[in-house]
Amino acid sequence: MAAEGKAIAKVNDLVIFVPYVVPGDVVDLQIKRKKNKYAEAEAVKFHELSPNRAVPFCQHYGVCGGCKWQVLPYSEQIRYKQKQVEDNLKRIGKIELPEISPILGSAKTEFYRNKLEFTFSNKRWLTSEEVRQDVKYDQMNAVGFHIPGAFDKVLAIEKCWLQDDISNRIRNAIRDYAYEHDYSFINLRTQEGMLRNMIVRTSSTGELMVIVICKITEEHEMELFKQLLQFVADSFPEITSLLYIINNKCNDTINDLDVHVFKGKDHIFEEMEGLRFKVGPKSFYQTNSEQAYNLYKVAREFAGLTGNELVYDLYTGTGTIANFVSRQARQVIGIEYVPEAIEDAKVNAEINDIKNALFYAGDMKDMLTQDFINQHGRPDVIITDPPRAGMHQDVIDVILFAEPKRIVYVSCNPATQARDLQLLDKKYKVKAVQPVDMFPHTHHVENVVLLELR
């Protein structure tokens, strides 16, 4: 297995990356792209199936583009993710490492996500089998997932196994109502049509948020849209937060748009160790709630807090980690570049009566400066959870200047994490490594590393 969940075949000296196959499969390959050193191909015929295979449980497997590792037993997925972390840290990091702890697997491998987004489109994607059989659909409108590489095509999803089944029931009910009442689905090329997107958020507290996003240019469309929302409210009384957004732009981003409440509240809550976290329609929250809790417990344990420490939480997001460790620290300072996330972080501190957490919004490399440290104090512990690209060189320089006793580095990309660990290596030694699986059936893995001052 290789990066991005693909498997590797070698023909003479050419390395070929192939999706949807596993080591041990004997297949005919058709080359799709060829470069000097490698090629990409797809399996067009299976001669022999690997003994190391699982039967995919989803009817949309191999088409929707997600959950590429359903063909691997979960124990094998875990093994490859462990190897991915070890290979990245050793090959890219080239630093001295302790023994890497066994990966923490996810108790749930189905219905584990707390958020999914679906897209409406008037261009239903037909699978190659449907094209071969010349299937004719009366209805070419679809709601589901974008097809990779075809921005205006959407695969009609009947059942997705990622989120609680309520998500499937709501999506299919909205789809059927829209078909029955002849609602228009967006044409992503011409930007005509009403229904655009929907987001479903479930939570560990049993609350349920549904956001329906549409394009409205005339008054009668608003009337139709409200009738659809009323149908959803009547059909699913368990929805505690039914929201809508009017998006008349040419892209699907909603961060700059107003959110309207149709029924219920404008937020839901997540809960962790008695702490409550307010999650709004635009809030970021780890999508696997149960594993997020395990991840944060590892981070807190690695931080080794006694109650006397000043902790800096970099890339704090909505302050989940900062608030989570605050009871064990003297003070926590969270920094994040998204101002709305920082507002959420402050609200979460207030809700939980946390008085020892401060939050600042701004670009990390501009905020975390020597002046900032001189003003707020030298941290005893830094917890950092950067985006996939890792940390900016300026941020690493300031961390080296600050010289905290311990750094806890949480990462969703072991490759950029390894690069950053190499830069920190002149002053810090890696003491512990704990991979955590957040996303079963995908190649993604989270990794927590503890570094201590040499």
315 is in an annotated binding site: yes
Grouping H, G, I as helix, E, B as strand and the rest as coil, residue 444 is: coil
DSSP letters, 142-177, are: EEEEEETTEEEEEEEPS--SSB-THHHHHHHHHHHH
140 shares a domain with 100: no
237 shares a domain with 123: yes
Is there a domain that residue 95 lies in? Answer: yes
Report residue 330 as tokens: 């003297």
CATH number, domain of 200, equals 2.40.50.1070
198 shares a domain with 141: yes
Is there a domain that residue 20 lies in? Answer: yes
DSSP letters, 368-390, are: S-HHHHHHH---SEEEE---TT-
Is there a domain that residue 145 lies in? Answer: yes
Instruction: Please state, in angstroms and rounded to a whole number, the distance separating the CA atoms of residues 127 and 277.
Output: 41
409 shares a domain with 354: yes
437 shares a domain with 353: yes
Instruction: Please state, in angstroms and rounded to a whole number, the distance separating the CA atoms of residues 316 and 341.
Output: 8
Report residue 53 as tokens: 């295979």
CATH number, domain of 23, equals 2.40.50.140
Quote the pTM value. Answer: 0.93
Is there a domain that residue 58 lies in? Answer: no
266 shares a domain with 130: yes
Q: What is the pLDDT of residue 151?
A: 83
Q: How many domains does the chain have?
A: 3
308 shares a domain with 168: no
Is there a domain that residue 142 lies in? Answer: yes
Contact 96, 430 (CB under 8 A): yes
Q: What is the pLDDT of residue 138?
A: 85
Is there a domain that residue 413 lies in? Answer: yes
How many other β-carbons are positioned within 10 Å of the β-carbon of residue 291? Answer: 22
166 shares a domain with 88: no
286 is in an annotated binding site: yes
Q: What is the pLDDT of residue 338?
A: 85
Is there a domain that residue 152 lies in? Answer: yes
Is there a domain that residue 255 lies in? Answer: yes
Contact 144, 156 (CB under 8 A): yes
Q: What is the pLDDT of residue 65?
A: 86
336 is in an annotated binding site: yes
CA distances from 175 to 158, 239, 344 (A): 10, 17, 33
Determine the structural domain holding residue 381 and report its residue range: 78-108+288-453
Q: String of b and e for 132-154 (b: at least 16 CB within 10 Å)? A: eeeeeeeeebbbbbbbeeeebbb
252 shares a domain with 126: yes
304 shares a domain with 186: no
142 shares a domain with 240: yes
pLDDT in tens, the chain (454 residues): 887 789 999 988 899 999 999 999 999 999 999 998 899 999 999 999 999 999 999 999 989 989 999 999 999 999 999 999 999 999 999 999 999 999 999 999 999 999 999 999 999 999 888 888 888 888 899 999 998 888 889 999 999 999 999 999 999 999 999 999 999 999 999 999 999 999 999 999 999 999 999 999 999 999 999 999 999 999 999 999 999 999 999 999 999 999 999 999 999 999 999 999 999 999 889 999 999 999 999 999 999 999 999 999 999 999 999 999 999 999 999 999 888 889 999 999 999 999 999 999 998 888 989 899 999 999 999 999 999 999 999 999 999 999 999 999 999 999 999 999 999 999 999 999 999 999 999 999 999 999 999 9
Report residue 13 as tokens: 């000296």
CATH number, domain of 301, equals 3.40.50.150
Catalytic positions, written as ranges: 412
292 shares a domain with 267: no
